[in-house]
C-alpha cells in the first residue's frame, strides 16, 4: 500500500492533500515518525459549505 511505498521510496518531500480532517490527523500522526510538517494550507474550494481541503507540505 501507500505506507509501504513511502517507506521503500523514502521521499524527501511529501505533499498531502486531504478533504477529510479526521483522516488527515490520523495519517499525520503516523507520518510524524519520518516527516516534519513544513506548512499547512487550508483551502475553501466550496464556499458556503462545511467542506474544506487541506494541503500539507512535509519534509524528511
Catalytic residues: 19
Rounded CA Rg of the chain: 13
**Residues 41/55, Cβ–Cβ less than 8 Å:** yes
Amino acid at each position: 500500500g501507500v505506507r509501504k511505498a513511502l517507506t521503500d521510496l523514502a521521499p524527501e518531500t511529501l505533499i498531502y492533500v486531504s478533504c477529510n480532517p479526521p483522516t488527515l490527523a490520523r495519517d499525520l500522526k503516523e507520518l510524524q515518525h519520518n516527516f516534519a510538517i513544513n506548512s499547512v494550507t487550508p483551502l475553501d474550494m466550496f464556499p458556503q459549505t462545511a467542506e474544506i481541503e487541506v494541503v500539507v507540505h512535509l519534509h524528511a
